Amino acid sequence: MNDISQDSQGNSHALLIQAMAESAKIVETTLEQILPTPHGLHARVHEAMRYATFAGGKRLRPFLVLHSAAMFEVDRAHAARTAAAIEVLHTYSLVHDDLPCMDDDDLRRGRLTTHKAFDEATAVLAGDALLTIAFEILADPATHPSAEVRLKLIARLAEAAGSNGMIGGQMIDMQAPGHAFGAEDIMLLQRLKTGQLFEFSCEAGPILGQASDADSDRLRLYARDMGLVFQITDDLLDVTSTAEKTGKAVGKDKNQGKATLVSVRGADGARAEAEKLARRAAETLSTYGPSAAPLRELPMFLLDRES
């Protein structure tokens, strides 16, 4: 029975990996068309934008956009542009997170961070430009013919990325070394810093498909649990993995005194919490049938990831 279960899980994971690769290809093709090609006296900022964006990575947020949109039969081109918007905004956050004034990282996705490959000032400007172009993409009628839908996307992304979302989470994270945060504080930090962009990515589907508020609520709940699974497993990798596998420095959370569920509950306790959240996330989408299969499989896949 265990062998059959493991084989089934392996097949599910293989199908999910294939789906993620296909999603990555779709969004990278879209990004290639959207991002400015280097030109003029300001070409260097374009080069830095492209360097940061085309550095590889899982393209997880675009995957969430594309598959949440597929659940509501959204036009693939509209979903792809929305996926591109969240990916460039996410990339901006990484460029800025890596700066010496933030996490001071030298490696990102297995190669030099943007400020190391260029310089700090160029990295700041490239991040600013990536943030800005995300909203330019969403405002374009090519993203959706309905101005109301485009405004909803813009408003929700601004909320997710702003001071009560990702930036608020980063602020808490920067203050963490000087505070004795408990598990609930850490989960709030992670729900803001990482989870808010996941929430946008999952809610983008029902927004683009002009679905009900109930659909948006279910996708949001799914994203909250899935986002925490992602962050907990990321924190576990920081403790158990290597820079060669993850493509970035490891052990830095402990060295910097950062608060994580791993530091509070230990590796076993954190993993148990991740497993509980993964099961709950999958169950949240059980009413949607086969169309939600990739999203239901994702939290379980994250439990086994190595990078």
**pLDDT per residue as tens digits for the range 107-133:** 998 899 999 999 999 999 999 999 999
Query: In the predicted model, is pLDDT for residue 1 greater than 80?
Result: no
Pairing of strands 107-108, 111-112: antiparallel
Tell me what the mean pLDDT of segment 171-187 comes to: 88
Q: How far apart are the first and last CA of the chain?
A: 29
Confidence of residue 190 (pLDDT cuts 50, 70, 90): very high
**Percent of the chain clearing pLDDT 70 (strictly above):** 91
Mean pLDDT rounded to a whole number for the chain: 91
pLDDT confidence of residue 6 = 54
Tell me what the mean pLDDT of segment 165-172 comes to: 96
pLDDT confidence of residue 4 = 41
Tell me what the mean pLDDT of segment 200-222 comes to: 98
Which one has a higher pLDDT value, 197 or 58?
Answer: 197
pTM: 0.91
8 Å CB contact between 39 and 179: no
Query: In the predicted model, is pLDDT for residue 41 greater than 50?
Result: yes
Crossing angle for the helix pair 293-303 and 60-70, nearest 10 degrees? 150
pLDDT confidence of residue 244 = 60
Range 248-265 burial, b when 16+ CB lie within 10 A, else e: bebeebeeeebbbbbbbb
